[in-house]
């Protein structure tokens, strides 16, 4: 870990309070360890700096006043987290504060805010009277509705919210057990001591639009290759198409070569043969070979109309989110594009995974997803620590997108029936695999281990 000038040394704090901070720091670190820098906002009364010291990040920096906040607006691929421990609970004009900070942020910046539980305001006041807290009582207590509304007024979106610390003592491991499993117990979730909130500034791309790489995994899709190229819309930027051919039994590879040889348009097109197996392996290979600032996936069956890539890319460039996810479950589907059992399964997994990630998701299994290259590199690092568990590739993108506070938005598409070939999906075998991955998400994200 590298420390910049101004990083605090360990502050004095009672042992029980250090445990509380350790639990909070573990939650904050699940995000910041994949960021490039963390900045500690000026401390409120009673903040010794111990919490920030326990936060895991490659570079950490402390500022002593608001005017010392660096100008981050020129950052494009650097992610900086500004950690605010209780700061909003001691401010009487939160909107003005957030607006001031936003003027110096890039779209890649995030505010990581520790909030005290408004339902336990009486407990903080009692602790002050008993001398258990060295700082004065907070000036205000914010509900999720409060912070969400103020954030929106100030040009932010609340992209992540996690309640932490239900039991403030380690007590031979009992505290760790309670703090891990309490988040899934109804009603109990209302009584955490704190919440960790992540705010994303809503900032659109200005000037040149980022370049885009479109990865098209293709296995037994000979009849769709030419249309996949011809139907790519004008996205008003540099666009690269990369076909990844996956051991087809028809003449998909020769068809890709024919289309490439005859193409004379503005798109840069290349193709590679897959060495491994499965769509996820194909996507990983395509991402590793692509050159665009922004990456997306287009299934070669064209059940997601290529023309709709405009809506995905506009949503990204307008700063509406840093992870754009397709959803097939809004509009009526064409013909037999998705059987009833498959549709019910997709709804189930969307709700289950959304609950595990504390994120609203309309569809987890739509093949088209869009994200920045620099964030994909962070996802790869996250996957190395989390484990390689996803043969399809949807969850290993969605899980870190939620954990890292990227901000996810669904773009509705009309799911079309195939015009060539057959699906490679096995409803029951793959359904069981998806169920296993959902359970992995619940136990390793929702029920993350705590100190």
323, 370 in Cβ contact below 8 A?
Answer: yes
In angstroms, rounded to a whole number, what is the distance separating the alpha carbons of residues 156 and 161?
A: 14
Average pLDDT over every residue of 289-297 = 97
Q: How confident is the model at residue 25 (pLDDT cuts 50, 70, 90)?
A: very high
Average pLDDT over every residue of 406-423 = 82
Asked if residue 27 has pLDDT above 80, the reply is: yes
Of the candidates 254, 247, 193, the residue with the CA atom closest to the CA atom of residue 217: 247
The DSSP letter of residue 318 is T
Helices 395-403 and 373-386 cross at an angle (nearest 10°) of 100
Mean pLDDT of the chain: 90
Average pLDDT over every residue of 387-393 = 77
pTM of the complete model: 0.91
Of the candidates 274, 399, 255, the residue with the CA atom closest to the CA atom of residue 325: 399
Q: Is 408 helix (H, G, I), strand (E, B) or coil?
A: strand
Any idea what the Cα angle at residue 401 is, between residues 96 and 409, rounded to 5°?
70
Average pLDDT over every residue of 253-275 = 96
β pairing state of 369-372 and 59-62: unpaired
Output the DSSP codes for 367-395: S-EEEEHHHHHHHHHHHHHH----SSSSH
Output the DSSP codes for 12-53: P--HHHHHHHHHHHHHHHHHHTTSSEEEEPPPPTT--SHHHH
Asked if residue 110 has pLDDT above 90, the reply is: yes
Structure tokens at 414: 């009309």
Higher-confidence position of 367 and 337: 367
- Among 180-189, 312-321, 348-357, where is mean pLDDT lowest? 348-357
Residue ranges of the chain assigned to CATH 3.90.550.10: 212-446
Any idea what the Cα angle at residue 241 is, between residues 236 and 243, rounded to 5°?
165
438, 350 in Cβ contact below 8 A?
Answer: no
Residue ranges of the chain assigned to CATH 3.40.50.150: 2-201
Digit-coded pLDDT (tens) for 182-225: 998 988 989 999 999 999 999 999 888 999 999 999 999 999 99
Asked if residue 239 has pLDDT above 90, the reply is: yes
In angstroms, rounded to a whole number, what is the distance separating the alpha carbons of residues 404 and 222?
A: 38
Asked if residue 297 has pLDDT above 80, the reply is: yes
In angstroms, rounded to a whole number, what is the distance separating the alpha carbons of residues 299 and 307?
A: 13
Q: Which CATH architecture has domain 212-446?
A: Alpha-Beta Complex (3.90)
Asked if residue 343 has pLDDT above 80, the reply is: no
Q: How confident is the model at residue 415 (pLDDT cuts 50, 70, 90)?
A: confident
Asked if residue 113 has pLDDT above 50, the reply is: yes
Q: Go through the chain and tell me how many residues it has.
A: 451
Would you say domain 2-201 falls under CATH 3.30.479.10?
Answer: no
Of the candidates 78, 132, 72, the residue with the CA atom closest to the CA atom of residue 106: 72
Asked if residue 284 has pLDDT above 50, the reply is: yes
- What residues form DSSP beta bridges with 196? 114, 162
Structure tokens at 152: 């929106």
β pairing state of 369-372 and 323-327: antiparallel
- Residue 191's contacts (CB-CB under 8 Å, 6 or more residues apart) are 117, 119, 120, 166
Q: How confident is the model at residue 163 (pLDDT cuts 50, 70, 90)?
A: very high
Output the DSSP codes for 264-275: -SSSEEEEEE-S
């Amino acid at each position: 870990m590298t420390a910049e000038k101004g990083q605090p040394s360990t502050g004095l704090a009672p042992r029980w309070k250090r445990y509380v901070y350790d639990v909070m720091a573990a939650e904050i670190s699940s995000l910041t360890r994949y960021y490039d820098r963390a900045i500690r906002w000026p401390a409120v009364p009673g903040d010794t700096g111990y919490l920030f010291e326990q936060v895991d990040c490659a570079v950490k920096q402390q500022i002593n006043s608001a005017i010392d906040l660096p100008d981050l607006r020129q950052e494009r691929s650097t992610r900086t987290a500004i950690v605010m421990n209780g700061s909003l609970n001691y401010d009487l004009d939160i909107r003005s504060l957030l607006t001031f900070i936003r003027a110096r942020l890039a779209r890649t910046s995030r505010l990581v805010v520790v909030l005290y539980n408004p339902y336990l305001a009486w407990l903080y006041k009692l602790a002050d009277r008993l001398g258990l807290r060295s700082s004065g009582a907070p000036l205000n207590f914010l509900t999720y509705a409060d912070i969400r509304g103020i954030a929106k007024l100030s040009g932010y979106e609340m992209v992540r919210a996690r309640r932490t610390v239900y039991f403030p003592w380690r007590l031979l491991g009992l505290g760790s057990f309670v703090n891990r499993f309490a988040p899934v117990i109804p009603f109990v979730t209302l009584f955490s001591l704190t919440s960790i909130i992540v705010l994303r500034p809503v900032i659109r791309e200005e000037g040149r639009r980022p370049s885009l790489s479109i990865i098209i995994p293709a296995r037994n899709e000979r009849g769709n290759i030419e249309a996949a190229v011809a139907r790519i819309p004008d996205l008003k930027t540099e666009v690269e198409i990369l076909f990844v051919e996956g051991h087809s039994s028809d003449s998909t590879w020769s068809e890709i070569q024919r289309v490439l040889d005859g193409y004379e348009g503005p798109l840069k097109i290349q193709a590679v043969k897959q060495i491994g197996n499965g769509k996820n392996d194909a996507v990983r290979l395509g991402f590793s070979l692509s050159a665009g600032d922004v990456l997306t996936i287009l299934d070669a069956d064209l059940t997601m109309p290529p023309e709709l890539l405009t809506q995905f890319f506009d949503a990204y460039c307008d700063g509406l989110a840093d992870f754009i996810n397709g959803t097939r479950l809004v509009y009526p589907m064409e013909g037999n594009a998705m059987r009833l059992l498959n549709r019910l399964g997709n709804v189930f997994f969307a709700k289950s995974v959304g609950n595990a990630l504390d994120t609203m998701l309309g569809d987890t299994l739509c093949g088209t997803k869009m994200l920045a290259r620099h964030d994909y590199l962070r996802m790869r690092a996250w996957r190395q620590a989390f484990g390689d568990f996803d043969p399809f590739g949807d969850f290993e993108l969605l899980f870190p997108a939620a954990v890292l506070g990227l901000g996810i938005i669904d773009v509705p598409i009309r799911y079309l029936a195939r015009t060539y070939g057959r699906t490679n999906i096995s409803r029951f075998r793959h359904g069981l695999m998806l169920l296993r991955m959902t359970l992995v998400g619940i136990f390793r994200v929702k029920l993350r281990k705590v100190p």
